[in-house]
Amino acid sequence: MTSLPDGAEIVGTATVGRPVRIDGLVLPGSRLEPAADPGRKAALSVRIVAVAPHGERLRYDLEATGWQGGDHDLREVLVRADGTTTDDLPPLLIRTETILPAGSPRVSVPPPTPPRQLGGYSQTLFLLGLAWLVGLALLLRLRRSATGSLQPSAAPRTPADELAFLVAKARAGTLGDGEGAAIERLVYEAWRQRLGLERTEPRQLVAGLRKEPAAAAALERLEGWLHAPGGVLAPADLGAFVAGLLPPDRSKGGRDP
């Protein structure tokens, strides 16, 4: 075998017609691809199995096949995809040994196949993760839609609504244990907020409310209704009765007592 030129490197060895795999070959410059060989008469053919970035260079997985014995330079069968020169490539030799006698017919060269991109596994994981997230978002959206259809929206109940509900129960004779106290609590709380007595101690609150004529009248009406002899009385006009227990609504033009 002849001596190698300066800087040359044997990157693979095989017999004629048998491919040799070269993985992780890092080369400078833009992307390389096999040179055209329409008649398939070149002494060496190369297939780029995969290519991926490697810093400022590219890393190649190659498969080279020598069709004649001897040392063959990969640079002779590689070109730049962008058409620029390959002069910056170092000598990359494939050593091909022949076991056939001289004059044997040349082994046929198969057609080239396109390379695959490295990182396919990561891309697959990314796509699977994206599909999982999309499916989860759709599931949560459907769940919220189903919950919304089962639970129709309703405006929050005001103290007046709650008080009217409890008074109606009392008139129907279905007031439960403790709900009478809830009625008193709603009335006291409404007047305490209206009169600005939120920070007043409970013991002083009653005395403070009694000093206000409108609040005192409402409390007397409430006590006379709840604690009347013979049980709870049924007010004739539910709306008027509830309105008489609560402070006037300022938003509707009511005046402070």
143 to 129, 130, 139: CA distances (angstroms): 21, 20, 6
Fill in the DSSP letter of residue 242: H
CA distances from 39 to 18, 20, 48, 67 (A): 19, 22, 19, 13
The residues near 16 (Cβ < 8 Å, ≥ 6 apart) are 66, 67, 68, 69, 96, 97, 98, 99, 100, 107
Q: Using one digit for the tens of pLDDT, what is the confidence trace for 52-70?
A: 999 999 999 999 998 888 8
Give the strand pairing for 9-15 and 70-73.
Answer: unpaired
Once rounded to an integer, what is the mean pLDDT over residues 106-111?
Answer: 53
Confidence band (pLDDT; 50, 70, 90) for 41? confident
Residue count of the chain: 257
**Where are the domains positioned within the chain?**
9-117, 159-252
* Tens digit of each residue's pLDDT (9 = 90 or more) over 165-216: 888 887 777 877 777 788 888 888 888 888 887 787 777 778 888 888 888 8
> pLDDT, tens digit, for every residue of 136-154?
788 888 777 666 555 555 5
Cα–Cα distance for residue pair 74/97, rounded to 1 Å: 16
**pLDDT tens, position by position, 205-250:** 788 888 888 888 888 888 877 776 554 555 667 778 778 878 876 6
